[in-house]
Structure formats: C-alpha cells, structure tokens
Structure 1
C-alpha cells in the first residue's frame, strides 16, 4: 500500500518518497466525493451505499457522521461562499447546504423531466455549477433507488447562478462521471466510465475548451485499459491527479503519465486539503486515505 511508481522524471517533484500513505478511516461500503473546508479544517465525504456523509476533523483526527441519511449523496464540492454543494442519487438533484444547516434544492429537472442521478460537480469562479448526470443511482438499489430514466441519455449540465436555468453542455457521453476545471478555467475535463455499461465502452478523460457557457473540442486526454477514471482534481501547476483503478495517476498538462500511487483498493475520488493545500485526500472503496505532498492543489477560485 502506498507504493510510488515513477514513470517520468517530473514526478520526482510531485511526491516525497519518505511520506507515508495514511489510512484515516475504514468501514465504508463505497467512499466517494471528498470536499475540504479550509475554514474548519474538515473534510466531508460520501459513503454512498451506507446512505451517509462522514466528516474528518484534521485537528483531532476524529471521524463523525455529518448527515444520515444522506439520500445517497455522491459527489460534493465547496462553493465560493464556503457552502457544501452535493449530488444526490436518491433525490436525483443538486443540493446546497446553507450556513445555518438548511437545505436548498438547486436543480432536479431538465426540461420538466427528472434528472438521472447527478454524480460529480464543480463550481466555477462565476458561481455556475457544472455537473455530470449518469444513471448509476437509478440502475439499482445499491447506490440509490432503482427507477426508469426520464432523460434521453446521460449528459453534462451547467446551472446558471443568476437565473437558475439548467442547460445541457455535452450530450455525447455514455456515462459522464468525474469533472474538473483546469486551474485557469479555460478547459473542462470530464471522465466517461461508459465501459461499465457497454462492451468496449469508453474508459477515458476528455478535455473541452470553455467559451463562456459553451464547450468545444472534447478530445481524449487520457485513457485506461483496466478499470476506470472516476474523480480527479488539479494541482497548482496544472497536473491532473485522478483515481485510476487501484491507484492515483498523475498526468502532466500535455497528457504525459508522470507516475502512480498504488493504494491497494479501488480508488473513487481525490481532493486537496490541509492548511497549505498539499495534503491529498483519497476515497478508495472502504477507506479514506491521505498523503502529504511537496506540491499544492490548485486554488478553487
């Protein structure tokens, strides 16, 4: 566990070989959606099949339940106002937790029909919310509630922060999944885990150019032969840190695979945290891990 594999000389600046991969918690069924709150030095993440959100306190090392039931929450992020914004499989919606603990439904329908099961999301510096909507939460009762889809496929959406109008920004995915902006927000990266539902289906991350509220391009940035990319985030140098089967893969901005961190169980998602932004949190099947790095995560805004 924690074996580091160097595939490019540049990776030597990204990791410290004396740092230890720490297991902070186990007992999850499928750990997902880590989101870090700098003001509180706390991380919130999802344990989807157990229908709960958990919270890790950096100052004490303690884990507690943040919300139970969570309506099968999957992806989480923090907006510019420090509020938790979440994708709910059960409610099939985007939900915001206000500072007083109340809940606000931001979006649950497109053109009058219910969303499938929002999976992962990111908030841009203009407060718009971009999210993926595969059907994993309605495929069975394991990570949500089995139901028939009302949309004509699995797509990617943008929620306007001023009008609350939901627009479809990409419709050529099989199962859109992880999503993140490059540090300068000029490109949007989206994973397609369509290989879970189609033989020889996609197992890649695509990169789009961002023009206001529109996407163009969409070329394949990275591809896997075994397993899937799920959630990912960027460091401040524009390198992409992503879940990849039982490892975390690190890619240079030009798409070169720099190295791997082998975790030992299926990795679902990652995010940066810690007082200096250089602690990589890893959600992997049953557990929450952390690894201290010599590099920092990109600033969200």
Structure 2
C-alpha cells in the first residue's frame, strides 16, 4: 500500500455501508450518485451521508454519467460472483445469474430502459465506464467477463444517447476499464485493468480516433505503464488535464500528468485494494473517491479544480 502524504488534505468519509460503490457522479446540490454493483442499484448519497435508492437496475451497474437529456446513463456489466475476506468485498467471475451486458438509461422517476445490448450482432459482455462528449454522444468501455478458464476480449465503443447508433471503435483491448477525455476534448484516455496501462488516442471526429504511428491498440499511444502488480480501474480527468486513475491493490488514486509522468498517489485512509473511481464536483476543487471493497465514499479537496463534465445535474 502507498503511504499517505502528511501534507495532503484529508479524505473524509461521506458514507459507509454501500455495496461495492462505483461510478460516482457529483451533483450541483452537493449529493453524489453512485452505482452499487453488488446490490444492482443506482443510489444517491446526500451531503450528510444519507443513502437512498434512485433505481433498481439489476445485474452489475458499473459506471454512470449524466447525459444531454438529464437522464443517468449506466454501464451494466451483468453481475459478478462475490467473495469476502478480512472485511473486504471482492468481485469475481461471471455469475450463474449473469444478466448480460447492457447500457441503461435511468429517467428522473427511476424508470430504467435498456438502451444497447449488442453492437453489430455481437452482445455486449461487461460494459464498465462511460464519458459523454460535447456532441452528445458517449464513449464506453466493455471489459468483458471472466470465467474459470477464459476471459472475453474487450473493446471501446461510441454510441448515441438516443439509442440510434453504436459502433465499435477499438478492438481488441485487454480489460478496458476507465475512460475519459482531455479538457479540450481532443484526446481520449482508456485504462486497462490487468496490464496496468493507460492508453491515449487523438480524436479526429465524434466517435473516431486517429491512429498514431505506434503499435498500441487502434494506433494508441501509451500514456503510462505501471510497474509491478498495479491493476487499474476507472479514471477522471482534473482541470489541469491530469489523468487520475484508480489503482487497485495499491489502493490509491494515481495522478498522471498529460505527458504521462506519475505525479503522486493518493491512498484512502483505511487500506482497501479496491479503490475504484474518482469524480469532481462541478466548478470546485472537491473530489469524491469510491473505496469499494469497504463500501465507502470519501470526499477531499483536490490541489486544482476538477474538470467539469459535458453534462451535469
């Protein structure tokens, strides 16, 4: 685990007792939406820590974002088997009651619609994380599902918010997880879980990346490769363009400069190998971090303002 920086602002617990929270989305009223993967819900955590269920989505909701219509869009990986040890909850293989991968839309009244379940006749397997661009479309990763003897290959997709179109942009990827955009929207970042790599592409048009002169997937440029055993989860981008990627096992948010330099790692107060995501409150320096193995949501002040997403609520 990473030692805490004694000069860094503290991480304060906002809420506990969540069932593997992920996909945090900070709202303007000070609340935070999270998915609870184990419970199959989209929930709201109020500033005082009160938790209420917004929608029952089933399966394994993994990532969430506000769309141009104000609805919440959810990546649903279809569910996991679960294990518990030493106070830590951990996801496992594809379960017997696997729902199938899907992108879901949650309206303000809590009603849930399955927006996409396939692309070009190929079923989605384990959608993981998503980010909207200013054109109203969204990029999302499909990590795939693992079984005892095999694992799906992953892919990067781009889709329309109204359910009218979806396209596979990059395949194959190895367990693609977090996805984010640079402040000017010109670059796309994707974190691969098992390999511990963050890739970068130049965006040439909505839903299209420009292949660079490299041998990375889809012509990607390697932003950073983590040494040792440091799998990666979801990511956020701050206002200075730093890629803030959740680093599993290490139990921290790793901060990468736009040139790929590792600037620092921010651990949670109580060690958790499943630190999974970060988001920023609109127009502020406030960041929220999910400590999923222990079921907690933390709040801290970031050294710079966060990057405001294309759409907020």
- TM more than 0.5: yes
Provide the residue aligned with 2:259 in structure 1.
Answer: 254
| Runs of 4+ off more than 6 Å | none
Aligned counterpart for 1:30 among listed residues 10, 20, 28: 20
RMSD between aligned residues: 2.5
What CA distance in whole angstroms lies between the structure 2 residues aligned with 1:100 and 1:48? 20
Provide the residue aligned with 2:243 in structure 1.
Answer: 240
Provide the residue aligned with 1:47 in structure 2.
Answer: 36
Provide the residue aligned with 1:112 in structure 2.
Answer: 121
Q: 1:102 deviation in Å?
A: 2.7
Provide the residue aligned with 1:182 in structure 2.
Answer: 182
Provide the residue aligned with 2:66 in structure 1.
Answer: 78
Q: 1:70 deviation in Å?
A: 3.5
Q: 1:54 deviation in Å?
A: 2.6
TM-score (norm 2): 0.79
Provide the residue aligned with 2:198 in structure 1.
Answer: 205
For residues 55-94 of structure 1, what are the structure 2 equivalents within 5 Å? 55-58=44-47, 60-68=48-56, 70-90=58-78, 91=99, 92-94=101-103
Going from structure 1 to structure 2, the CA distance change for 1:18 and 1:102 (only over 3 Å counts) comes to same
Q: 1:94 deviation in Å?
A: 0.7
Going from structure 1 to structure 2, the CA distance change for 1:84 and 1:161 (only over 3 Å counts) comes to closer
Provide the residue aligned with 1:271 in structure 2.
Answer: 279
Q: 1:57-108 deviations in whole A, cap 9, x for unaligned?
A: 12x3322233345332111111233321101122411111123433332211
Aligned counterpart for 1:214 among listed residues 194, 208, 211: 208
- Size of the aligned set, in residue pairs, is 271
**Contact conserved, 1:37 with 1:82, CA < 8 A, in 2?**
no
Pair 1:98-2:107 in alignment: yes
Any stretches of 5+ residues in structure 1 without a counterpart?
Answer: 7-16, 141-147, 196-201
**Contact conserved, 2:196 with 2:231, CA < 8 A, in 1?**
yes
Q: 1:16-38 deviations in whole A, cap 9, x for unaligned?
A: x3632112222234221111222
**Contact conserved, 1:2 with 1:21, CA < 8 A, in 2?**
no
Q: 1:162 deviation in Å?
A: 6.6
Going from structure 1 to structure 2, the CA distance change for 1:2 and 1:29 (only over 3 Å counts) comes to farther
**Contact conserved, 2:126 with 2:142, CA < 8 A, in 1?**
yes
Q: More displaced, 78-87 or 17-26?
A: 17-26
Provide the residue aligned with 1:9 in structure 2.
Answer: none
Going from structure 1 to structure 2, the CA distance change for 1:43 and 1:163 (only over 3 Å counts) comes to closer
What CA distance in whole angstroms lies between the structure 1 residues aligned with 2:110 and 2:262? 41
Going from structure 1 to structure 2, the CA distance change for 1:4 and 1:50 (only over 3 Å counts) comes to same
Q: 1:50 deviation in Å?
A: 2.7
Query: Secondary structure of 1:155's partner?
Result: strand
TM-score (norm 1): 0.82
What CA distance in whole angstroms lies between the structure 2 residues aligned with 1:269 and 1:64? 20
Going from structure 1 to structure 2, the CA distance change for 1:51 and 1:97 (only over 3 Å counts) comes to closer
Q: 1:163 deviation in Å?
A: 7.3
What CA distance in whole angstroms lies between the structure 2 residues aligned with 1:293 and 1:120? 22
What CA distance in whole angstroms lies between the structure 2 residues aligned with 1:237 and 1:61? 29
Pair 1:164-2:152 in alignment: no
Q: 1:130 deviation in Å?
A: 0.9
